[in-house]
Amino acid sequence: MPSDAEHQSERVSRRKYLLTSAAAVGGVGLAGCSSSDTGNTNSGGGNGDADSSDGSGSGSSGPSTVTAEGSSTVYPISNKGSSYWNSNSPASDGEYWGSNDESSVVGWDQIETDMNIADYFASLYGFEATGERSNPPFATRVALSHSGTGCKAVRDGLVDIGNSSGPITAELDISEDERDENYVDHVVGRDGQPVFVSQAIYDAGVEQLTGEQIRGIYQGDISNWSEVGGPDQEIYVVGRAEGSGTDTSFRLNMLGDADAPMDVDTRFGQNQQVQQVLQDNDNAIGYMALAFSGSGIQAIAIDFEGTVFRPDPDAENTIFDSEYPLNRDLHMYTRINEETPDGTDMREAAFLNMFLTEFGQKTFVEDVNYITLPTSDVEAEREKLPEQV
């Protein structure tokens, strides 16, 4: 994999750098920053396995590599963030970081710095900038496995961050108290399936359905739009490939059971096909990733037991909320232990904080087709991180 090779070479270059200026960088980098010091020793144990392959690169001279592992669903977000971090692009880049005459990255107006990308985020937590491309203050590395594996790895201290698309309580079969005692849950984005209807149906007044109505439509009890306040037209019900993850989670979250019966008119394997069919027909309903919304289709509000989730990011309850039944949080867990009673050391905080900016949400979450967190949730997530210095 290219990213692996990339990481490899970055580690090598970092090691070289450390060899030449080990004392200086290490000393300055950690000076006056006791919590990053503890973070370092903490992960020394946790990273034992991972670091042995690094050789002496992360010895006492500099902060060790932040390692993450887990869910393939969270992987695109985590890995893209890691790639950006390790590139440590300068602010003059324009495409990946910063701005120049031609372009600037999203959310740049909130950042406005001369520093390189990893230098900037690391410096917020007291790390010394390197000022060099491809040479971040500390490297990051993301491994791909499964949610359960990622949770176990963070539990056993094999990695710093455990990526999981399901709650750790379910993955490790622990209680919520145990979770709160041992882990900090950092939500970086959401994976979800808003319900869409054809534009003509939306225009005819079907802007909102209840959970009960959607259940009826997908189980064959409701077959005409007039039954739910729309025009007198048959409903063209679009489902997803039988047994796929999307199909299973829809059955589970919307129909109440992972093997609930469904009665649909057509099934498609891909978001693009659902989008096309919803545009081509004027009587269709379907569910797909938010990134595929476009002209000719409309996301609708859903009323779940009295709470109306609207497709508007500024509404009180939105379809981007974690409470919206078709959404699931994408988690990055960190471990609470003796060295880090807060659960998140300065290295981890610096890395995670990158995802909790407008730049990070747009680049690492929205661009890989996931739902970004509403502003209030981003703020709540930032509260979980240690104080910036």
Partner 1 sequence: MDLSTDTEVGGWEARAERYSGRVRTFITETAPGALAVVALSMGSLLLAFAGFLLASPLAAVPFGVFVLSTGYGWVRHQALVARAVTFAMTTVTLVTLGLIIVFIFVESVAAFRYESVTVFGVSVPGLGMFVQTRWDAVSDPVRYSLLPMVHGTAMVTAIATLVAAPLGVAAALFISEIAPPVVREVVKPGIEILAGIPSIVYGFIGFTIINPWAGEEFALNGGSTYLFVGIVVGLMALPTVVSVAEDALTSVPDSMKDGSLALGATEWQSMTSITLPAAFSGVSAAVLLGVGRAIGETMAATVMLAGVQKIPEPITNVFYGYETLTSLIAANYGNASGVQESALFAAGVVLFVTVLCLSVASQYIEARMRRRLGGERT
The β-bridge partners of 144 are: 70
User: Which tokens is 241 given?
Assistant: 């490939």
The β-bridge partners of 196 are: 286, 299
Identified binder of partner 1 from the candidate list 4, 109, 112, 280, rule CB under 8 A: 280
CB of 266 to partner 1, least distance (A): 4
User: Which tokens is 11 given?
Assistant: 């580690």
- Closer Cβ to partner 1, 69 or 247, answer by number: 247
* 224 belongs to the binding site for partner 1 (CB under 8 A): no
d(CA 320, CA 361): 13
In terms of DSSP bridges, do strands 236-240 and 284-287 run parallel, antiparallel, or are they unpaired? parallel
For residue 369, how many other CB atoms are within 10 A of its CB? 13
- Closer Cβ to partner 1, 193 or 283, answer by number: 283
Instruction: Write each residue from 227 to 266 as x if it is in contact with partner 1 (CB under 8 A), else as -, in one continuous string.
Output: -------xxx--x-xxxxx-xx--x------xxxxx-xxx
For residue 283, how many other CB atoms are within 10 A of its CB? 19
* 182 belongs to the binding site for partner 1 (CB under 8 A): no
CB of 206 to partner 1, least distance (A): 17
State which H helix or E strand residue 302 sits in. Answer: strand 301-304
- Closer Cβ to partner 1, 229 or 245, answer by number: 245
* 283 belongs to the binding site for partner 1 (CB under 8 A): yes
d(CA 30, CA 36): 7
- At residue 335, φ and ψ (nearest 5 deg) are -100, 135
* 307 belongs to the binding site for partner 1 (CB under 8 A): no
**Where does this chain touch partner 1 (CB under 8 A) — which range of 55-63, 128-136, 139-147, 278-286?**
278-286
d(CA 119, CA 268): 45
d(CA 110, CA 92): 16
CB of 278 to partner 1, least distance (A): 11
CB of 228 to partner 1, least distance (A): 16
- Closer Cβ to partner 1, 242 or 379, answer by number: 242
The distance of Cα 182 from the centroid of its chain, to the nearest Å, equals: 21
- Closer Cβ to partner 1, 267 or 362, answer by number: 267
CB of 268 to partner 1, least distance (A): 7
d(CA 8, CA 185): 29
The distance of Cα 362 from the centroid of its chain, to the nearest Å, equals: 11
In terms of DSSP bridges, do strands 208-210 and 301-304 run parallel, antiparallel, or are they unpaired? parallel
CB of 286 to partner 1, least distance (A): 11
* 277 belongs to the binding site for partner 1 (CB under 8 A): yes
**Where does this chain touch partner 1 (CB under 8 A) — which range of 4-12, 25-33, 188-196, 269-277?**
269-277
Binding site for partner 1 (CB under 8 A): 234-236, 239, 241-245, 247-248, 251, 258-262, 264-269, 273, 276-277, 280-281, 283-284
